[in-house]
Structure 1
Amino acid sequence: MTAESPLDGVDLKTALEATLDRTDAVLAAVDDFPLLVDDDTGKWETTEDGNWCAGHWIGLLWLAAHHADEQGKRERFETAAYDYLDRMLAAEDLLGSMFAGMNYLYAGYRGYDLTGDRTLYGVGFTGADAMVDLFHERARMVPIGAYAVAGPSEQFDLTEAVGDRPTGEQISATDMIYASIPVLWRAYSETGTEAFRDRAIAHCDRHLDWCIKPDGTTFHEVEFDPETGDLIAQYNDLAYSDDSCWARGQGWNIAGLSRAYNETAAERYLAALEETVGYYVEQTPDDLVPYWDFEDPSIPDAPRDTSAAALTAYGLSRLEGDGERVADLRQTGEATLASLVEEYLVTDASAGDRGGVRHGTYNKPGDYGVDTELIWTNYYVAYALHERLTA
């Protein structure tokens, strides 16, 4: 007998249709890559080349094309996806950053999965090769790279050293276990080339050592000595403080550990997953959508972050394997996805933002993108729904 799921009785089909309708509406509203909604104007803030999340937008377009019920719509979404893909590929600085991993995975490999276009398959390998090249052999991690991330420049521009902070070439982050590494897992599964798998495992193991604290919380960033590879410092640029825990970082960690366990069935990844998910559940309200930082002293008046919940749901609901431990974690992911669909995804046909996921927080310390709709949240919810409905 199949165990009951928190998603039983949730109208997943309508939810997915809403997210794809939102993709359609956003496509009509923007000329560049959407990043987040400016709550003051209600309009999308955009970037010319997609910056760190080009693949999320292209991935949504691939999903919309795949599920379109009219040939005209399908062709429009596919044409847009290829157009945006060309613009992403022209951004050569992306390949020197950790973000190439997920962008080339979503735009490339997953585009291939939905279309069968072998050109997109090659795009995926370009992203995997970039992560191999970026991998720091002494630190045993993929660094952020010298890259300017969309947001307050003094906080996010990692192309130059600022004060005591070095460039992104000497910094890794908890994000990378999901932002950079899954493209390596995919490349290994396609080719059996050990270079992909070895670097994925090395990074995940270093993540366990450097990014996860004994209490199950995570650091945002870690700095290492480029000559020796030794750890220099651990800090929290996007958290409330160096002693608190940034919710989206915890979500990246959960998604990444879930994938690492799926690929290896290694006990160390499952144990770390249980520890970090345990903290997440203990510190999150009953609806499993956390505040932007688990330890912000202004809680319950602090903003939530649905993108942290989307990553958690996306990672755990796709967790593979048998046994009670895995089943419990997967059920947490399904419960989180159910909550997002029923409480935060707009399904009202009369709403202007139908299909958007509300209440995401991008950068609270920089007061940028707080309590709003974020393009990557929409992608992770849509993809989790797509996988659930097409399994």
Structure 2
Amino acid sequence: MTLFKHLLSCSLISVLLFSCGTEKKEVVSKSNNEIILDQSVVKIKQALHVLKTTDSFPRHIVKGEKDWRFVGVKDWCSGFWPGVLWYNYEYTGDAEIKAAAEKFTAPIKTIAFTSAEDHDIGFQVYCSFGNGYRLTGNEAYKDIMLAAADTLATLYNPIVGSIHSWPSKQEYPHNTIIDNMMNLELLFWAAKNGGDKKLYDIANSHAEVTMNNLVRSDSAVYHLGSFDDKTGQFIRGVTHQGYADESMWARGQTWGIYGFAVAYRETGRADFLNTSIKLTEHYLNRLPKDGVPFWDFDDPTIPNAPKDASAAAIAACGLLELADLVKDDKLKEKYRHEAKRFVTALSSKAYFSGDENNALLLHSTGHHPKGREVDEPIIYADYYFMEALIRLEKLENAKRLALTK
């Protein structure tokens, strides 16, 4: 049993005292988060039984089906499944899950040592090898992460000051998407752990360019910013996965919330913190009552538009990160409260899959304009849901331990 699991179990004992001489009764109860985590462990082990090869990775489940559809190593989502397994191992200390995490992590090594095709190296490598290294200290994992950071950095254009997100999209001389804020953590980490210090400068510059050009005056974000690759001039902001260029695409907003919080954590720049707060407040102000956003806040078919559980899961993680960083106690409490509300909603029968299929969450939306992965389970929703659950349990456990001192 891991130390985390041991402390968690100890802290979840509720003692009911009944006055009858010295008689005491102890009633063991579990938090809702732990109940969902326990169910998640069962579901993930069930999914492992139908996975035949470790170089194919779960991505989504088609409506009416039970099992995952798979993608290869180069798909941008390849790192999320091993990441889910690492989070499960962190919670359980289960040797079977650890072995599976190692097996599904290993094939992603190739991403670190081949030419960069897009910005998704952070999602692929940091979610898999990053969590593996955090939990095991495996030095081989560290070497792969450092190589992956160097590979990601080859997409940096110093004239624009940002990483080229989608080199394959020739209609834009240089493009930067809001999603790419999440890949900067790999660069920041590498700069602190033996990598080239220039990686920090690249990540810092990329966040600044994104803040100055993709964050709009209405406190929403563009999905993609197009730049002149010869002059660095910002051309325009557009969308690919949102409803319209000027609409508020839910998942993009949450990438921004989380990404700028991490950028502040690593740089100490107040403007990054203020940007994360601004995006958060705008997001919270527009949320529907259940705390799970529609795929785009400006879809005219609302309330009949599909939801995006993945955005709610990312938002929960982003707000937990932000709560750790803000100095104002009221904001800290507000953001933790909202994160808990999102996780509670996702843990309900409306969104948690139960026996319906092998995923954890229902009702995510991938690429609505192209009709792909609409109102389906998607692996990155499960990844960020697991992250949020683990983070909340650590917070609650720390509170309980503090009360016993």
User: Which TM-score band applies after superposition, normalised by the shorter structure?
Assistant: 0.7 to 0.9
**Partner residue of 2:388?**
384
**Partner residue of 1:90?**
110
**Partner residue of 2:315?**
312
Q: 1: CA distance between counterparts of 2:268 and 2:88? A: 33
Conserved? CA contact 2:114–2:151, under 8 Å = no
Q: Percent identity?
A: 25
Residues 211 and 20 (structure 1), Cα distance of their counterparts in 2 relative to 1, 3 Å cut: farther
Match of 1:175 among 175, 179, 188: 179
Residues 1:143 and 2:146 are matched in the alignment: no
Paired residue secondary structure (1:274): helix
**Partner residue of 2:27?**
none
Q: How far off its partner does 1:211 sit? A: 0.9
- Per-residue CA shift, 1:209-257, capped at 9, x if unaligned? 1111101111111111121221122101111112211111111111101
Q: How far off its partner does 1:203 sit? A: 1.0
Q: 2: CA distance between counterparts of 1:10 and 1:122? A: 38
Residues 93 and 171 (structure 1), Cα distance of their counterparts in 2 relative to 1, 3 Å cut: farther
Q: Which 10-residue stretch deviates more, 51-60 or 354-363? A: 354-363
**Partner residue of 1:61?**
85
**Partner residue of 2:374?**
370
Match of 1:289 among 282, 289, 292: 292
Q: 1: CA distance between counterparts of 2:229 and 2:357? A: 46
Match of 2:331 among 325, 335, 342: 325
Paired residue secondary structure (1:41): coil
Q: 2: CA distance between counterparts of 1:332 and 1:99? A: 28
- Per-residue CA shift, 1:127-159, capped at 9, x if unaligned? 22223222111111111143xxxxxxxxxxxx3
Structure with the largest fraction of strand: 2
Q: How far off its partner does 1:191 sit? A: 4.0
**Partner residue of 2:141?**
120
CA RMSD of aligned residues (A): 2.3
Residue identity opposite 1:28 in structure 2: H
Q: How far off its partner does 1:192 sit? A: 8.2
Paired residue secondary structure (1:181): helix
Residues 1:36 and 2:64 are matched in the alignment: no
Larger Rg: 2
**Partner residue of 1:103?**
124
Residue identity opposite 1:359 in structure 2: H
Q: 2: CA distance between counterparts of 1:118 and 1:48? A: 25
Q: 1: CA distance between counterparts of 2:351 and 2:141? A: 30
Paired residue secondary structure (2:69): strand
Match of 2:43 among 22, 31, 40: 22
Which of 1 and 2 has higher RCO (CA within 8 Å, sep 6+)?
A: 1
**Partner residue of 1:270?**
273
Q: How far off its partner does 1:25 sit? A: 2.2
Gapped regions of structure 1 (runs ≥ 5) = 1-8, 147-158
Conserved? CA contact 2:343–2:385, under 8 Å = yes
**Partner residue of 2:282?**
279
Residues 1:211 and 2:217 are matched in the alignment: no
Q: How far off its partner does 1:266 sit? A: 2.6
Q: 2: CA distance between counterparts of 1:372 and 1:99? A: 22
Conserved? CA contact 1:63–1:114, under 8 Å = no
Q: 1: CA distance between counterparts of 2:106 and 2:295? A: 34
TM-score, normalising length: structure 1: 0.85
Residue identity opposite 1:38 in structure 2: V
Q: 1: CA distance between counterparts of 2:38 and 2:338? A: 24
Residues 93 and 230 (structure 1), Cα distance of their counterparts in 2 relative to 1, 3 Å cut: farther
**Partner residue of 1:346?**
352
Q: Which 10-residue stretch deviates more, 351-360 or 49-58? A: 351-360
Conserved? CA contact 2:61–2:359, under 8 Å = no
Match of 1:80 among 86, 90, 100: 100
Residues 93 and 144 (structure 1), Cα distance of their counterparts in 2 relative to 1, 3 Å cut: farther
Residue identity opposite 1:182 in structure 2: E
Residue identity opposite 2:280 in structure 1: V
- Per-residue CA shift, 1:78-109, capped at 9, x if unaligned? 33333333322235667432110122111112
Residues 122 and 189 (structure 1), Cα distance of their counterparts in 2 relative to 1, 3 Å cut: same
Residues 361 and 123 (structure 1), Cα distance of their counterparts in 2 relative to 1, 3 Å cut: same
Residues 290 and 209 (structure 1), Cα distance of their counterparts in 2 relative to 1, 3 Å cut: same
Paired residue secondary structure (1:188): helix
Conserved? CA contact 2:359–2:377, under 8 Å = no
Conserved? CA contact 1:218–1:245, under 8 Å = yes
Conserved? CA contact 1:20–1:355, under 8 Å = no
**Partner residue of 1:155?**
none
Residues 11 and 241 (structure 1), Cα distance of their counterparts in 2 relative to 1, 3 Å cut: same
Paired residue secondary structure (2:68): strand
Residues 352 and 187 (structure 1), Cα distance of their counterparts in 2 relative to 1, 3 Å cut: same
Q: Which 10-residue stretch deviates more, 131-140 or 318-327? A: 318-327
Q: How far off its partner does 1:284 sit? A: 1.3
Residue identity opposite 1:48 in structure 2: G
- Per-residue CA shift, 1:41-82, capped at 9, x if unaligned? 343221122500111111112223344465xxx24x333333
Gapped regions of structure 2 (runs ≥ 5) = 1-29, 396-405
Q: How far off its partner does 1:116 sit? A: 2.2
Q: 2: CA distance between counterparts of 1:343 and 1:258? A: 31
Paired residue secondary structure (2:369): coil
Residue identity opposite 2:76 in structure 1: W
Paired residue secondary structure (1:228): coil
Paired residue secondary structure (1:277): helix
- The alignment covers a number of residue pairs equal to 359
Q: 1: CA distance between counterparts of 2:367 and 2:31? A: 31
**Partner residue of 1:131?**
152
Conserved? CA contact 1:290–1:304, under 8 Å = yes
